[in-house]
A and B are shown apart, each in its own frame.
Chain A
Amino acid sequence: MRPCNSLKLEFLKNWIMGLQRWSFSKKEMGILERKKAIKLSADIAMASARNGTTRWSRALIANAYSKHDKHLVSKGASTEYSRRIRSKKILKRSCRRIRRRSKGLVRERTRILKNLIPGGELMNEGSLIEESLDYIVSLRAQVDVMRSLVSASEVDR
Chain B
Amino acid sequence: MSSRRSRQSSAGVSRISDDQIIELVSKLRQLLPEIRDRRSDKVSASKVLQETCNYIRSLHREVDDLSERLSQLLATIDADSAEAAIIRSLIM
Contact = CB atoms under 8 A, between A and B. Distances in A.
Contacts of A109: 46, 49-50, 53
Contacts of A105: 46, 49-50
Contacts of B75: 31, 34
B56 A35 contact: no
A149 B77 CA distance: 14
A42 B67 contact: yes
Contacts of A124: 13-14
B77 A153 contact: yes
B62 interface: yes
Interface stretch (A58-66, A67-75, A77-85, A133-141): A133-141
A106 B46 CA distance: 5
Interface of B: 3, 5, 10-16, 20, 23-24, 27-28, 30-31, 45-46, 49-50, 52-53, 55-57, 59-60, 62-64, 66-75, 77, 82-83, 86-87, 90-91
A42 B52 CA distance: 22
Contacts of A7: none
Contacts of B91: 16, 19-20, 23
A132 B46 contact: no
Contacts of A139: 56, 59-60, 63
A117 to B, nearest CB: 8
A143 B62 contact: yes
Interface residues of A, number: 51
Contact of B49 (A95, A110, A133, A135): A110
Contacts of A90: none
A26 interface: yes
B49 A146 contact: no
A129 B53 contact: no
A32 B74 CA distance: 12
Contact of A147 (B57, B66, B73, B86): B66
Interface string A104-138: 11110110110011000000111001001101110
A136 B77 contact: no
Given A124-B14, A126-B14, A34 B74 contact: yes
A152 interface: yes
